[in-house]
Amino acid sequence: MSSICLQLHQTTNSLTRFTYPYDNDLIPQNGIYILFENGEPGHDMERIVRIGTHKGKGRLLSRLDDHFIESNQRNSIFRKHLGRCFLSKANDDYIKSWDLPFKKRTDKIKYKDRVDLEYEKKYEKMITKYIQKKFSFVIIPNVNKKSDRKHYESRIIATVSNCNICIPSKDWLGRFHPNTKINESGL
């Protein structure tokens, strides 16, 4: 698996790299994005730390904006995970509320006393600053069918997460994630 992961890293590290702010006109409508985090090495180059795609047709740019610009963790599982890391690192008990659903009207009624959107803004700002400063990405373009995107996304995730060389550094923020599977996988 490590040799395949090496090839994957060599290929993706050679693709056009995007950083924030990225040029919207250069982002294809459909594809798979691969994120790298500054300071995270793997195979003597930047290590892949996240692989993702989008559900709706033509929504790749919107999905990237959900991560890099949108300040609402409930629209981005990536932002939700980063928030969990920051909250865990700070030993902040609000992590229990961070994970509560709060989009539907029924959820807002049910959890109104536990979810503090004003308090969450503190972490949303930290997440946005961290993503925009620390992450870059490449795109595997024109994977137009949703089923193909999901297929390739899962294969890339499996390749990287099963590699015994692509281990996260001791300082990687993901090490603070409360889910052991995430903090050990490096993704």
| 27-31, 52-56, 72-76: range with lowest mean pLDDT | 72-76
Res 183: pLDDT:
85
Sheet strands (E) in 4-153: 18-19, 31-42, 45-52, 135-141
Q: Fill in the DSSP letter of residue 116.
A: -
Mean pLDDT in residue range 173-181: 94
Mean pLDDT in residue range 104-123: 96
Residue 179 structure tokens: 């889910």
Q: What percent of the chain has pLDDT over 90?
A: 92
What pLDDT digit, counting tens, does each position of 65-83 carry? 999 998 888 889 999 999 9
Q: What is the pTM (predicted TM-score) of this model? A: 0.94
Categorise residue 33: left if φ over 0, alpha if ψ from -120 to 50, beta otherwise. beta
Mean pLDDT in residue range 113-118: 96
Residue range of the domain that includes 158? 2-185
Mean pLDDT in residue range 53-65: 96
Residue 184 above 90 pLDDT?
A: no
Residue 106 above 80 pLDDT?
A: yes
The confidence band for 135, taking pLDDT boundaries of 50, 70 and 90, is very high
List the strands of the sheet with 18-19, edge to edge.
18-19, 135-141, 31-42, 45-52
Residue 1 above 70 pLDDT?
A: no
Average pLDDT, the chain: 95
Res 107: pLDDT:
96
Pairing between β-strand 135-141 and β-strand 31-42 as defined by DSSP bridges: antiparallel
Give, rounded to a whole angstrom, the gap between the first and last alpha carbons of the chain: 16
The confidence band for 116, taking pLDDT boundaries of 50, 70 and 90, is very high
| Total of domains in the chain | 1
